[in-house]
Amino acid sequence: MAKPIAAGAALSTLPSLSSSCSELNKWKPLNSNTHFHFNCNRSLNTARLSVRAMSSSTSVLTQDQLKKLAAEKAVEYVESGMVLGLGTGSTAAFAVARIGELMKAGELKDIVGVPTSKRTAEQAESLGIPLSVLDEHPKIDLAIDGADEVDPELNLVKGRGGALLREKMVEAASAKFVVIVDESKLVNGLGGSGLAMPVEVVPFCWKYNASRLQSLFQAEGCEAKLRMDGDGDKPYITDNANYIVDLYFKTPIKDSRAAAKAILGFEGVVEHGLFLDMATAVIIAGAEGVRVTTK
């Protein structure tokens, strides 16, 4: 059985996904104590690259370190001159940091970032990454972001960090969208984690919409709750001055496409956290290493 990736594994030097299986397995990492084996499975709709690493080292990477490796793998898709969608959240922050490092080292040049939240903009600015908005750059080459849930078809739940509207706008405008998660985010059906699926709503009569949303998913045992701020004494306010109603499901959503359409049919709903048919690739960090799944 493959072991977790050990410290020193040089994932940043991995070959590209376009390499053949035979080419991949000829590849040798910089660290001579580390061995990688690639299992390539091809089907009509999905190409999967599984990465396993074994080392004599007893130092095993933490979950955050695995996320960082996955983020750095995602940044391998970045090329000089690109317009990038910069995601929001702890995992996406690793990718933004890596982009900043490569720009400072001169390995990436002429990058423009389109941030998906105010806090991502602040991080990018601190790293010297030039920023823009969709008004100025309506076509984005690549977006990199995390996700809260990923189903077998690479559909996502996103937005528990509160940035779902801007994330969806930026990522929908991107030619490629690379998602970074850890394996705990994998579900058989969206809503299956039992954690929040966010819906951004206008503050006006939010209770009315919360009630309608809960009734919409009665079959899934849905409970709708207004998201509160860190102190819990007032509603959480998004970057767009809206509220978030979090939906909690006892069972997965039966038909996510029908659900997405129905949610947006409610007046006063701004956006929902179902990101369907948007991901180009999902990079998954887990106890046994990092794997990349593409559509």
CATH number at residue 261: 3.30.70.260
Q: What is the pLDDT of residue 135?
A: 98
Q: Domain range for residue 263?
A: 197-275
- Tell me the HSE value of 247 on the side-chain side, using a 13 A CA sphere: 34
- The rounded distance, in Å, linking the Cα atoms of 131 and 119 is 13
What is the three-class DSSP state of 26?
helix
The rounded distance, in Å, linking the Cα atoms of 91 and 19 is 26
pLDDT in tens, 71-104: 999 999 999 999 999 999 999 999 999 999 999 9
Q: Is 106 exposed, middle or buried (0-12, 13-18, 19+ CB in 10 A)?
A: exposed
pLDDT of residue 62: 78
pLDDT computed for residue 180 by the predictor: 96
| Closest by CA position to 140, among listed 166, 118, 160, 161 | 166
Domain-embedded: residue 235: yes
Of 126, 119, 115, 193, the closest CA to residue 157 belongs to 193
In the numeric block, which tokens belong to residue 47?
């190409």
- The answer, yes or no, to whether residue 28 has pLDDT greater than 60, is no
| pLDDT for 7 beyond 50 | no
Structure tokens at 54: 């074994």
CA distance 114 to 268: 27
- Which residue is associated with the tokens 């040049």? 109
Candidates 186, 102, 126, 118; CA nearest to 150 is: 186
What digits encode the pLDDT tens for the residues 143-199?
999 999 999 999 999 999 999 999 999 999 999 999 999 889 999 999 999 999 999
- DSSP code, position 273: S
In a domain, 156, yes or no: no
Higher-confidence residue of 74 and 16: namely 74
User: How much is the pLDDT for 59?
Assistant: 60
In a domain, 44, yes or no: no
In the structure encoding, which two tokens stand for residue 64, read together? 């955050």
Query: What's the one-letter identity of residue 6?
Result: A
In a domain, 290, yes or no: no
Query: Quick one: average pLDDT of 32-38?
Result: 36
In a domain, 263, yes or no: yes
As for how many domains the chain has, the answer is 1
Could you report the per-residue pLDDT of 256-271, keeping only the tens digit for each?
999 999 999 999 999 9
pLDDT at 163: 98
Is there a domain that residue 68 lies in? Answer: no
* Per-residue pLDDT tens over the stretch 229-242: 988 899 999 999 99
177 domain residue, yes or no: no
CA distance 63 to 82: 29
Residue 214 within a domain: yes
Kindly list the catalytic residues.
167
3-state secondary structure of 189: coil
Is the pLDDT score of 48 beyond 80?
Answer: no
